[in-house]
Amino acid sequence: MEYLKKPAGFPESFMWGGASAAFQYEGAWNEDGKSPNIMDMIPPHEGMADTHVTSDHYHRYGDDITLMKELGLKGYRFSISWSRILPNGRGKVNQEGIAFYNKLIDKLIENDIIPVVTLYHFDMPYCLKEEYNGWASRKILDDFSEFCEVVFKAFGSRVKYWLTINEQISILFYPKFTGSSPEDEKDDIWRYRMNHNFSLGHAIAVKLCRKYVPGCKVGPVVGWNVSYPATSKPEDSLASYNRDVIQGYSIFDLYIQGKYNPSFWSYLCDRGIQPEFSSGDKDLLKEGRPDFIALNYYRSATVKYAFLESREIKHQYNLSGKKGNITYPLRPGAYQECKNDYLEVTDWDWAMDPAGFRLTLRKIYDRYELPIMITENGLGAYDVLDDAGTINDEYRIQYLAKHIKAMKLAIQDGVEIFGYHPWSFMDLLSTSNGFSKRYGFVYVNRTENDLKDLRRIRKKSFYWYRNVIKTNGEIVD
């Protein structure tokens, strides 16, 4: 690390952006040669929208990019659907899928918007789940490698920022994102075998990216947040560190140091759920060191100690959008999450904590000393289209303003941050809450079950964020 003059704020080259993901945003789930992915085949919760149309970006990408340009975006983070490129998971390339992403990338560049591309965002081709249970099998590595190679060869000359795996920790703890069967979900050996394969998949993607896209920057997307001890009891401080390791450092260490965190490996061995290593795994993991870290941050966590004799409790999302309907996880011998009475929560019980954002950034950078790109941060809320045809989402503005201020303070603390892509540019399908829980700067005129006209309507936050970009991060109170 070089010791330079203390930064005053956001650098002139800072990449202000927005974010999305293919299965949540594109729609056209079975059009132009695309096969179903695992998210297409999961029945939505009762009354909630499915992946079939979502925001219909597939048919409206040109108009959407015009809105991105109007907003002033410098970068746009999106994912490429594996099943749109390789409908069988391998083999014959779907040229219509290639054509769509070619048009999307070219249109972004034409409008001076930097494409930031995610390779894997929860949407493995469903046929691979049927064939060999997907990421639970090492067979996935050859197929994922083929997908990466096709994508890098097709788009690599125009894309310089690549993201490998999105939120591996979410896939690990919330099996909905794997397309797994209920029997699999009860099997922690299966879960951590899959985690190992994802880590190898990340390393493969890094190697291939550097081979086919010289001069590129590549990194993983980690969904992580700091945790606080519930009390000053030493056991609760230990629980806080346990959670930091199990839900954060365990993944970071695999990606960046190419090895298992010692206390995490001990945690796995104590429970008999450690994965098996094959020849070459250790060397491959070492080759996966990224150029930067991409971080998704929404909330912080608070924990207390959980004794080994405790009964495990699985995390259950709040699906109702009414505060208090969340089930916090308990991991025996490690930690139990609980409510933090010092923090306000969203209608879905996510603790809003900009100071936690600053602390999370500092913890990551102090430990790994790699540049950080924020790839998700935002507020899911019930947005109301009023009689005048406007959406006054002042609550979203306040959330984002506080987090951008915290990010600026982290930069002044010495953290190297080079991009911010709030979730999301436009309303899209929430993975657990459909279209009722909205995140975008742009409203999509539809409900859970009524597509209406899918008209795009600028929210109040659209104009606010446009000014933030224009002034390079100035927040007017």
Tokens 């224009």 found at: 470
| Residue 161 dihedral angles phi and psi, to the nearest 5° | -120, 120
**CA geometry: angle 182, 186, 189, nearest 5 deg:** 125
Q: How far apart are CA 403 and CA 67, in angstroms?
A: 24
The one catalytic residue among 46, 110, 130, 167? 167
CA-based end-to-end distance of the chain: 35
Measured from the Cβ of residue 470, the count of other Cβ atoms closer than 10 Å reads 11
The amino acid at 103: K
Q: Is 167 a catalytic residue?
A: yes
The one catalytic residue among 70, 376, 416, 448? 376
C-alpha distances in Å from residue 162, one per residue of 12, 373, 447 = 22, 11, 33
SS3 70: helix
In a 10 Å sphere around its CB, with 0-12 CB exposed, 13-18 middle and 19+ buried, how is residue 232 labelled?
exposed
Q: Which of 35, 39, 28, 155 is nearest to 91 (CA)?
A: 35
**CA geometry: angle 10, 15, 20, nearest 5 deg:** 135
Q: Is 337 a catalytic residue?
A: no
Tokens 């993991």 found at: 285
The sign one gets for the Cα dihedral 134, 140, 143, 144 is positive
Measured from the Cβ of residue 352, the count of other Cβ atoms closer than 10 Å reads 19
* Cβ-proximal residues to 376 (8 Å cutoff; 6+ apart), any chain: 19, 221, 223, 296, 297, 298, 421, 422, 423, 424
Contact (Cβ atoms closer than 8 angstroms) between residue 110 and residue 76: no
Tokens 């005048």 found at: 388
Contact (Cβ atoms closer than 8 angstroms) between residue 135 and residue 197: yes
| Residue 467 dihedral angles phi and psi, to the nearest 5° | -70, -35
DSSP character at residue 275: P
Consecutive H or E run containing 470: helix 460-470
In a 10 Å sphere around its CB, with 0-12 CB exposed, 13-18 middle and 19+ buried, how is residue 448 labelled?
middle
Active site positions, annotated? 167, 376
